């Protein structure tokens, strides 16, 4: 296994590997062992956290993966290092040593026998983040990570909506210059599943709503060009998930509630709220 090497070329007595642990890619840092094995563990962790921060990553997760603890706590998240209850640890410039100390303190807390006195800090850890690929980890571990390259990758246009979301979310967290964008974005012809929907179902639900959002009871925010109140019709269980195109699965919503049902923090709770509030939905949700 390679050793962590500082930016000034000093080889630390601390070994690591870049690999997948239970299919989560990351960097495994070996804890210090008896006698002099991995004696520079703390220094190595400092170097790695600093590199992550310098590379432009804003957070990292750390899990303990020592064999005995994996056996005692099979659930991955039971072995997560949490700071202020959060598994996402923030990487702030100038505070990486503080973070390393906090990680060490949390490491000491997790033990096979919780009643045993003293903390055993000699534990292998996995550093990971969904934004860091195995290739990135190799570059981070050797100090050759190119953050400009990552930014460039993230700014590649994509026709895939889900991918667009992932990239934009990653970019929100980094310092961006005003992007030039593209006057004529490239287009591709994609095939996607579309559903033939019943106009009568849509019309009936809109009639029934009578100009008010069925979730928040607010009036439609504006009138359509044809003078009718503007509301959007939503399938409580999405058609793509096997939901029906019947009035027992369809509601009229104001644009805010509609976006919230799709993108809000508690959309499953909202679904339940809708079902409780609108009796005609009961039939479908219980079948």
Contact stretch for Zn ion (CB under 5 A) within 7-15, 68-76, 162-170, 215-223: 215-223
Q: Output 98 or 210, the one with its CB closest to Zn ion.
A: 210
Do residues 204 and 233 touch, judged by C-beta distance below 8 A? no
Q: Which is nearer to Zn ion, 56 or 243 (by Cβ)?
A: 243
Q: Is 205 in the site for Zn ion (CB under 5 A)?
A: no
Kindly state whether residue 64 participates in binding Zn ion, applying the rule CB under 5 A.
no
CB of 9 to Zn ion, least distance (A): 57
Our CB check for Zn ion shows the closer of 140 and 254 to be 254
Q: Does 216 bind Zn ion (CB under 5 A)?
A: yes
The answer to whether residue 236 forms part of the interface with Zn ion (CB under 5 A) is no
**Nearest approach, Cβ of 207 to Zn ion (angstroms)?**
17
According to CB under 5 A, which one of 49, 89, 110, 213 is a site residue for Zn ion?
213
- Of the two residues 173 and 267, which places its CB atom closer to Zn ion in the complex? 267
**Judged by CB under 5 A, does residue 229 bind Zn ion?**
no
Residues that bind Zn ion (rule: CB under 5 A) add up to a total of 6
Give the one residue of 51, 79, 128, 234 binding Zn ion; rule: CB under 5 A: 234
By beta-carbon proximity to Zn ion, the closer residue of 65 and 257 is 257
Q: In the complex, which residues of this chain contact Zn ion (CB under 5 A)?
A: 213, 215-216, 234, 254, 257
């Amino acid at each position: 296994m390679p050793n962590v090497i500082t930016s000034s070329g000093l080889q630390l007595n601390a070994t690591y590997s870049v690999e997948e642990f239970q299919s989560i890619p990351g960097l495994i840092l070996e804890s210090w062992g008896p006698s002099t094995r991995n004696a520079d563990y703390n220094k190595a962790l400092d170097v790695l956290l600093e590199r992550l921060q310098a590379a432009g990553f804003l957070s990292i997760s750390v899990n303990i993966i020592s064999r005995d603890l994996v056996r005692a706590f099979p659930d991955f998240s039971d072995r997560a290092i949490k700071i202020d209850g959060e598994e996402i640890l923030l990487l702030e410039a100038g505070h990486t040593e503080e973070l390393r100390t906090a990680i060490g303190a949390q490491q000491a807390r997790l033990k096979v026998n919780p009643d045993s006195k003293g903390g055993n800090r000699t534990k292998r850890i996995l550093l990971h983040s969904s934004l860091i690929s195995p290739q990135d980890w190799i570059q981070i571990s050797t100090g050759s990570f190119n953050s400009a390259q990552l930014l460039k990758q993230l700014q590649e246009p994509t026709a895939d909506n889900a991918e667009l979301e992932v990239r934009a979310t990653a970019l929100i967290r980094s310092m961006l210059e005003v992007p030039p964008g593209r006057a004529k974005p490239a287009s591709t012809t994609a095939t996607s599943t579309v559903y033939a929907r019943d106009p009568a179902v849509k019309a009936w639900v809109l009639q029934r709503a009578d100009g008010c959002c069925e979730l928040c009871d607010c009036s439609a925010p504006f009138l359509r060009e044809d003078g009718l109140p503007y509301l959007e019709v939503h399938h409580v269980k999405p058609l793509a998930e096997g939901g029906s195109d019947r009035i027992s699965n369809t509601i009229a919503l104001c644009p805010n509630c509609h976006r919230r049902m799709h993108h809000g923090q508690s959309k499953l709770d909202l679904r339940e709220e809708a079902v409780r509030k609108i009796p005609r939905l009961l039939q479908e949700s219980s079948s």
